[in-house]
Amino acid sequence: MIERLCYVYGVVHSSVDPKTAPNGIDGGRVSVISNKDVSALATSVSADDYAPERVESLTADVDWVSQRAMAHDRVLTWASDNGAVIPFPMWTLFRDAKAVKSMLSKRLDELEQTFARIGDGREFIVRVYVQPGVLQARLGEHSAELTALEAQAANATPGQKYLLERKIENLRRDAGRDVSAKVAGEIDDALRSCSMETVREQPVNSGAPREQGRAILNASFLVAPPNVVEFQRALTSMVNKHEPSGFKFDFTGPWPPYHFVGERSA
């Protein structure tokens, strides 16, 4: 009967020394299991505690999951602070060290290609929201057509004014959507120019405070260490340019390159 399993956080170069690693899942020690130039970061865990059916039954327990998620991220962040790392998803378990070595051997070429692609890059996440009310009040700054129509309406006869106001109302609705899309694209382009890779996902409002506004951009950027200052300057420039028009920014990082391995290294 199997009593222990190997919980694997991710893969690093074999030169990484685990002596300074933080405690891992359940407070366990983090060790390395090596094969040639790559090593898996692993912790020995109870086979009973991490049996698939038990893990599945506990995934609804927020406290139980969050404690392990923090430990998982803590180890990967430490690894990322010390060099390149390929993060694995939570609950990546192997029967024993031999099985881990076998995985490393089978995936060696693929893992080395991933290391070559991501380098020492760190992940930064940028989410942008628009506050429609604020943007509506500043739309004239973004649309010359709207400004011209409003000036025309101010001097129009009552009949003409009614028609112009209807046109302005429709233009404001469409312009708000168009400006938001344009701003999202501009921010993405500015940050992409100083990044190694970018992953842009569907913007979602889930978890964001209502006053934050409507989500228009949800993007992750892989940034090489020498380019971090340039990236931060580009982001600051975008904040200064667009925040007065009702665009709010949520910026986190650096993180391990979670969004830049995924299925490509599975």
Q: What one-letter code names the amino acid at 71?
A: A
The token duo for 239 is 């904040």
Distances, alpha carbon 182 to alpha carbons 38, 94, 176, 191, in Å: 43, 47, 10, 14
Q: What is residue 197's DSSP assignment?
A: E
Q: What is the pLDDT of residue 84?
A: 93
Q: Where are the alpha helices (DSSP H) in 82-193?
A: 97-106, 108-118, 132-137, 144-154, 158-192
Q: pTM for the full model?
A: 0.81
- CATH assignment, 122-262: 3.30.70
Ranges of beta strands (E only) in the chain are 4-13, 31-35, 38-46, 85-87, 93-94, 122-130, 197-201, 214-223, 247-255
Local mean pLDDT, 10-residue blocks, the chain (266 residues) = 90 93 95 94 94 89 94 96 94 95 95 94 95 76 61 62 62 71 95 96 73 88 96 97 93 95 51
Which residues make Cβ contacts (< 8 Å) with residue 122, sequence separation at least 6?
80, 222, 223, 225, 228, 253, 254, 255, 256, 257
The span from the CA of 79 to the CA of 51, in Å, is 26
Q: What is the pLDDT of residue 266?
A: 28
The span from the CA of 103 to the CA of 90, in Å, is 17
Residue spans of the domains in the chain: they are: 4-118, 122-262
Phi and psi at residue 90, to the nearest 5°:
-60, 155
